[in-house]
Amino acid sequence: MHPKYLSIHDFSYDLPDNKIAQYPLAERDASKLLVYKKGKIESDIYKNLHQYLPPDTLLIFNNTKVVEARLLFQKPTGAVIEIFCLEPFVDYKDITTAMLQKGKVFWKCLIGGAGKWKHGMKLYKSLKKDNVEIVIEAAIADRLKDCFVIELSWQQDISFAEVLHLAGELPLPPYLHRQTEEDDKDRYQTIYAKNNGSVAAPTAGLHFTESIFNRLEKKNIEKEFVTLHVGAGTFKPVKTEKMDEHEMHAEYVDISANAIKQIIEYAEKTIVAVGTTSLRTIESLYWMGIEIVENKDISPEELSIKQWDPYEIELKRVSAKEALTHLYDWINNRGLPGILTKTQILIAPGYNLKIAKGIITNFHQPKSTLLLLIAAIVGNEWKKIYEYALENNYRFLSYGDGCLLWAERVY
């Protein structure tokens, strides 16, 4: 069945509020780890992850960094308006370029209290850095279907990334129903976070520590990093009955040629994605390779993955190694450092993994595209896995526990 015709109601379960982790554990690697393979479930903690991975495995991590995307402005009346910075407007080629802008940027945003922001009104936020006052000005530049385009400007010679760091707040997931606290500034980032651009953490990576990395290295388990900047769409609930009416969020991906070369070397071994974002990234690489097989002259601007591409591209049997090699050669022939594009890929039942053989991930919300992804990997066994986790006091969602799931079928 084409995933378009799936009913989201078939991917629901009862998640009591007391199962949602409000805070992380004191030690990152003390979180519970559920391991699923061929119908069998085991329970352990992340500190022992290395025991469940074969030698010569490649782990793929998303090294995006969560930015302080929530800006709070106060009107002269005292009313507070929240600007939630989603992603750059189309004027910029990528998030990094937009983050480095000085003086002014245009950003797609959600507005809390938009009804209080009258047409033509400018908002101001003042703060101090090294005894120098910085004033940020916000104005509505445009109204789009599902967000606003906000012009943000400031006089000082600092980048927009610095502005957010100074003036913004870290955006915790809405289902936590609490304000950001000081500890969140550290714990809602992975220890390897590097590239600014996400409005949500790639939460599977929150469990990893240097101690885990050392154990993995001793077992000859390698790691590689890709970047997918997580958008607010990761929390977007599926509100339609059938999936064909749901639009998947597109997210920026940035993968170096060296990372692709490493993935090629492991294509016939064992590759495990750490998190749904890492999985969506590397599976998108496969389909980019297929696009190049079909059109070797495709331009970098055209090379992107749409929501239904994996289900509608007429595909001859092309191995992961072959597809990725075509992609790698295409990059080198153009003298590019890697791939910088967007992916909208939806992984749902009906999809067979092309590159990864498993995933390390947290437990996800009912009726979400993330749960569809899990069902694509383990089939209807997801119900047994989630039931086990609920019955055995696993903690759910962003600050919760996690699992290592081996795929039932790999293409």
Q: Does the pLDDT at position 411 exceed 60? A: no
Sequence-ordered alpha helix ranges (H) in 116-271: 160-167, 184-187, 210-218, 257-265
Of the candidates 404, 395, 345, 347, the one whose C-alpha atom is nearest the C-alpha of residue 370 is 347
pLDDT of residue 376: 97
pLDDT of residue 235: 62
Question: CA 278 to CA 63: how far, in whole Å?
Answer: 9
Residue 127 — pLDDT band, cuts 50, 70, 90? Answer: confident
Q: Could you report the per-residue pLDDT of 82-119, keeping only the tens digit for each?
A: 999 999 997 788 899 999 999 999 999 999 988 889 88
Number of H helices, E strands in the chain: 10, 17
Query: What SS3 state is found at 218?
Result: helix
pLDDT of residue 268: 95
Contacts 24+ apart (CB under 8 A), 10-14: 11/366, 11/367, 11/368, 11/371, 11/372, 11/375, 11/382, 12/366, 12/367, 13/366, 13/383, 13/386, 13/387, 13/390, 14/366
Q: Could you report the per-residue pLDDT of 269-319, keeping only the tens digit for each?
A: 999 999 999 999 999 999 999 999 999 999 999 999 999 999 988 767 899
pLDDT exceeding 70 applies to what percent of the chain?
A: 98
pLDDT of residue 266: 98
Q: Could you report the per-residue pLDDT of 396-410, keeping only the tens digit for each?
A: 999 999 999 999 765
Task: State in words which class domain 3-65+188-406 has.
Answer: alpha beta
Contacts 24+ apart (CB under 8 A), 155-163: 155/103, 156/129, 156/132, 157/102, 158/102, 158/129, 158/134, 159/99, 159/100, 159/101, 159/102, 160/98, 160/99, 160/100, 160/101, 160/102, 160/105, 161/67, 161/99, 161/100, 161/196, 163/134, 163/136
Question: CA 8 to CA 18: how far, in whole Å?
Answer: 24
The answer to whether 282 and 355 are in contact (CB under 8 A) is: yes
pLDDT of residue 90: 79
pLDDT of residue 131: 76
Q: Does the pLDDT at position 31 exceed 60? A: yes
Tell me where in the chain the CATH 3.40.1780.10 domain(s) lie.
3-65+188-406
pLDDT of residue 410: 57
Question: CA 85 to CA 221: how far, in whole Å?
Answer: 37
pLDDT of residue 232: 75
**Nearest-5° Cα angle at 86, 83 to 90:** 115
Of 34-43, 120-129, 153-162, 172-181, which has the strongest mean pLDDT?
Answer: 34-43
The answer to whether 11 and 26 are in contact (CB under 8 A) is: no
The answer to whether 285 and 355 are in contact (CB under 8 A) is: yes
Q: Could you report the per-residue pLDDT of 147-185, keeping only the tens digit for each?
A: 899 999 999 889 999 999 999 999 999 899 899 999 999
Q: Does the pLDDT at position 386 exceed 90? A: yes
Q: Does the pLDDT at position 333 exceed 90? A: yes
Average pLDDT for 238-262: 90
